[in-house]
Amino acid sequence: MRYSGLRVIKEALTGHKGWKPIWRNPEPQSSYDYIIIGGGGHGLATAYYLSNTFKKARIAVLEKGWLGSGNIGRNTTIIRSNYLLPGNEPFYEFSMKLWENLEQEFNFNAMVSQRGILNLLHTDAQRDAYRRRGNAMILAGADAELLDQDGVRAMYPWLNFDNARFPIKGGLLQRRAGTARHDGVAWGYARGADLKGVDLIQNCEVTGFRIENGTMRGVETSRGYIAANKVGVAVAGSTGRVMAMAGMRMPIESHVLQAFVSEGLKPTIDGVITFGAGHFYVSQSDKGGLVFGGDIDGYNSYAQRGNMAVIEDVAQGGMALMPAIGRARLLRVWGGIMDMSMDGSPIIDRTPVSGLYLNAGWCYGGFKATPASGYAFAHLLATDTPHETARAYRLDRFERGLPIDEKGMGAQPNLH
């Protein structure tokens, strides 16, 4: 079933009786060629590109809960490619290009909205850093504009420009960045994979690996043993737990990141704004709620909920940037578990176990990476070679002294 405007009109005139479930709910088979562990955004995107682009078959996605029950539905929906380092920027720009054509590609409304992201700057040093970042983006084929204070004022006149401590002096604008409907992304990839015969198996927890002589044979699950020679792990947040079953310790700590949405307000913010003096980012959903977030809580956690101190810290960032936010009431606060890696950058690589592949370490930047992560991981699974934009995301880069540390924080996961 293809979606189209005509189809919507036809269904509207016939009582919406023609809509069907958009994926099957199959029983697991005894063996597959490819198993993806994790039915979140990255796992589903991997299955989608593996079946649609790389034309592979006999693929299963194993999901402990329901599809899209993790961070794909918990983020603040921002998509962007405004990174600095050569190991990162081409990858995220590749992702941005996939976003731009995503809905046509998988025929599903993911509400991709290129409404622009504005990173505010508050000091001369920060202007230099953003000019450098903007140049790095342009070199990698992305777009970037450096705005002065008047340029920012023309976009958002109600920001607190004259804050005594952190006056707003300008900003780095990426117009092609924006937001997407995060659940829609998971559903679109799930539907596209299912249409190509991928088995999306929910309520199926992986409980162990069967590894013989260093080679992957299959996985033990809560619904029985399933054989597969190639197993891809895409379980951000739980990477440490899953890889421990294969006897590996990871360069990753799990941390909780909170996100927030206010009550519905009149249209105020038509893009994404980030505060450059604290950690605060905000956009406005189509329903009117301000969607915003800040730092991770900072301690190891698997709780999917955080503490009050960070809520206060994020609210203070918002108040410093846009004092009007003080009149808005919070509607919901939630948390997701982040794979915080040792350099703040992800891993898409083979592992010491032949046939076991890893997609992990997305820190709190995994959503924008979803299309490229899936594409690059599918490329790796299908060809055993890394995608050209993901070559730097090696598991052994820490041992070899080749970290990709955007913030220059060193091996301290809670600072990335």
Partner 1 sequence: MLIPHPLLGLRDAEEFTYLGDARLLDRPDGMAEGAAAAFYEYVHLRDNPAGVHRELWFHEQGDRSWLVVTRNTVTHEILGAELARNVKGGAA
3 state DSSP class of 350: strand
Give me the amino acid identity at 377.
Answer: F
Residue 224, beta-bridge partner list: 221
Interacting residue with partner 1 among 307, 315, 333, 382 (CB under 8 A): 307
Interacting residue with partner 1 among 138, 309, 331, 402 (CB under 8 A): 309
- The H or E element that residue 52 is part of is helix 41-52
Interacting residue with partner 1 among 249, 266, 327, 329 (CB under 8 A): 249
Burial state string for 316-339 with b = 16 or more CB within 10 A and e = fewer than 16: ebbebbbeebeebeeeebebbbbb
Asked if 402 touches partner 1 (CB under 8 A), the answer is no
Q: Are strands 117-121 and 272-275 parallel, antiparallel or unpaired?
A: parallel
Asked if 252 touches partner 1 (CB under 8 A), the answer is yes
Asked if 278 touches partner 1 (CB under 8 A), the answer is no
CB proximity list for 164: less than 8 A, separation 6 or greater: none
Select 244 or 331, whichever has its Cβ closest to partner 1.
244
Asked if 241 touches partner 1 (CB under 8 A), the answer is yes
Asked if 411 touches partner 1 (CB under 8 A), the answer is yes
Structure tokens, 388: 């050209």
Q: In whole angstroms, how large is the CA radius of gyration of the chain?
A: 21
Asked if 298 touches partner 1 (CB under 8 A), the answer is yes
Residues touching partner 1: how many (CB under 8 A)? Answer: 25
Select 8 or 411, whichever has its Cβ closest to partner 1.
411
Select 16 or 305, whichever has its Cβ closest to partner 1.
305
Asked if 82 touches partner 1 (CB under 8 A), the answer is no
Asked if 404 touches partner 1 (CB under 8 A), the answer is no
Asked if 301 touches partner 1 (CB under 8 A), the answer is yes
Compute the least distance from the CB of residue 302 to partner 1, in Å: 4
Site for partner 1 in 310-349 (CB under 8 A): 342
Select 268 or 304, whichever has its Cβ closest to partner 1.
304
Select 336 or 374, whichever has its Cβ closest to partner 1.
336
- The H or E element that residue 253 is part of is strand 252-264
Find out whether 170 and 128 touch, Cβ atoms under 8 Å: no
* Size (the chain), residues: 416
Find out whether 111 and 286 touch, Cβ atoms under 8 Å: yes
- Cα 180–chain centre separation: 11
Sign of the C-alpha dihedral computed for residues 211, 212, 217 and 219 taken in this order: negative
Asked if 405 touches partner 1 (CB under 8 A), the answer is no
Interacting residue with partner 1 among 299, 323, 354, 402 (CB under 8 A): 299
Phi, psi dihedral angles at 276 (to 5 degrees): -90, -10
**By CB under 8 A, which span of 9-17, 268-276, 294-302, 322-330 interacts with partner 1?**
294-302
Interacting residue with partner 1 among 253, 278, 320, 391 (CB under 8 A): 253
Asked if 69 touches partner 1 (CB under 8 A), the answer is no
Residue 352, classified by CB atoms within 10 Å of its CB into exposed (0-12), middle (13-18) or buried (19+), is exposed
Interacting residue with partner 1 among 1, 303, 331, 402 (CB under 8 A): 303
| Binding residues vs partner 1 (CB under 8 A) | 238, 240-241, 244, 249-254, 298-303, 307, 309, 342, 398-399, 411-414
